[in-house]
Amino acid sequence: MSYQSNVDVQLIAQALAVKPGLRRIVVGLSGGLDSTALLHLTHQWWLQQPADHRPALHAIHINHQLQPQAEQWQQQCAEMCARWQIECTVRKVLVNTEAGSLETVARQARYAAFREFLQSGDGLLLAHHRDDQVETMLQRLARGSGPLGLGAMTSCSEQHGFTLLRPLLAVDRVQLEQFAHDHDLAWVDDPSNRDPAMERNFIRLRLLPQWRNARPQLNQALARSARLARESALLLDELAALDLGQPRADGGLQTSALQGLGLARQKNLLRYWLRRQGVQPPSETITLRILNEVLTAAPDGQPLVAWGHNSVRRYQSTLYAL
């Protein structure tokens, strides 16, 4: 079946219009369908810009060294960039496969490599599309995430001094496939993407195809739900900022800011404050422990609740994230 791709350089133009003045555009290139289509689109946009006003165009390939074909994929990415006269950087990373789920630890290694390479004024373009957005949302729904997690991925965010852009979030994978075929693009196929033992693959290969048979507009509906969840998360952050008041210079949270609030607003404020301190908020169970044990402790107590590598301690009338 042939699909109207609706994929063109305007997607790149619209994404970059959100963050004008980038000095360098860096495309994350795995060599797969999605990133190959993104690099082609970005290159076409770049060629249309005046030579003396366009940012530098670059590609970065992260070699996770997890598959026997990894060196071959690296070579194919380098050759693709050479054909299109795009500068390509390769970074090899070591993935600790015993430190958690393979998807999670590989992503952590990849983003660490991005942060090491990118500089202030750079824009990193990643090829996540609407199917990825839906899969991410369903994964987080299964884990019991709230509005912030269900909001899934954003089209633009600031990351450690550089800008992260996702121009393809409104595009379905089938549209990218049609675009790639229309432009005779070649890409690599990662066999690990066909392993249903991995949760994301199970969602993609087993769950969603049957669901889409019953609801053909499922992608659009779930992507809309993700957008509404992000809007709700923004509203909750605005409410938390009002509840927090003027932030303390030492980063502490006054117990008086929490007292008098209902439980839902207390949890919301606590999570917001932790994120401001660079701490990933804990589970709801730990959040309730903090409120019950730390907030209600005797004035001369110094209670502490710990989780993972983080903790919250109370000293006098102030909470501190450690």
Same domain, 88 and 25: yes
Angle between helices 33-47 and 173-182 (to 10 degrees): 60
> What does pTM read for this prediction?
0.89
Show the tokens assigned to 288.
């309730």
Same domain, 147 and 202: yes
Residue 5 lies inside a defined structural domain of this protein: no
Q: How far apart are the first and last CA of the chain?
A: 56
Structural domains counted in the chain: 2
Task: Find the Cα–Cα–Cα–Cα dihedral 6, 135, 126, 118, rounded to 10°.
Answer: 170
Residue whose structure tokens are 């990118």: 118
Show the tokens assigned to 100.
């958690």
**Domain final residue, candidates 188, 223, 258:** 223
Residue 231 lies inside a defined structural domain of this protein: no
Show the tokens assigned to 315.
């000293």
CATH of the domain at 309: 1.20.59.20
Name the phi and psi angles at 315, rounded to 5. Answer: -125, 120
Residue 234 lies inside a defined structural domain of this protein: no
Same domain, 169 and 86: yes
Name the phi and psi angles at 134, rounded to 5. Answer: -65, -45
- What pLDDT, on the 0 to 100 scale, is given for residue 5? 58
Same domain, 109 and 172: yes
- What pLDDT, on the 0 to 100 scale, is given for residue 157? 92
Contact 66, 106 (CB under 8 A): yes
* Bridge partner list, 305: 312
Residue 152 lies inside a defined structural domain of this protein: yes
Residue 127 lies inside a defined structural domain of this protein: yes
Same domain, 303 and 270: yes
**Domain final residue, candidates 159, 191, 223:** 223
Same domain, 135 and 33: yes
Instruction: Please state, in angstroms and as integers, the Cα–Cα distance from residue 236 to each residue in 47, 163, 209, 230, following that order.
Output: 42, 24, 34, 10
Residue 304 lies inside a defined structural domain of this protein: yes
Show the tokens assigned to 180.
């790639």
What residue numbers bound the domain in which 315 lies? 245-321
Amino acid at 105: V
Would you write out the chain's pLDDT as a tens digit for each of its 322 residues? 444 557 999 999 999 999 999 999 999 999 999 999 999 999 999 999 999 889 999 999 999 999 999 999 999 999 999 999 999 999 999 998 888 788 889 999 999 999 999 999 999 999 999 999 999 999 999 999 999 999 999 999 998 889 999 999 999 999 999 999 999 999 999 888 898 988 999 999 999 999 999 999 999 999 999 999 999 999 999 999 999 998 888 999 999 999 989 999 999 999 999 999 999 999 999 999 999 988 787 777 788 999 988 999 998 889 999 8
Helix H or strand E encompassing 313: strand 310-315
- What pLDDT, on the 0 to 100 scale, is given for residue 160? 80
Residue 61 lies inside a defined structural domain of this protein: yes
Residue 176 lies inside a defined structural domain of this protein: yes
CATH of the domain at 181: 3.40.50.620
Helix H or strand E encompassing 158: strand 156-159
**Domain final residue, candidates 189, 223, 257:** 223
Q: How far apart are CA 146 and CA 139, in angstroms?
A: 12
Q: How far apart are CA 90 and CA 69, in angstroms?
A: 15
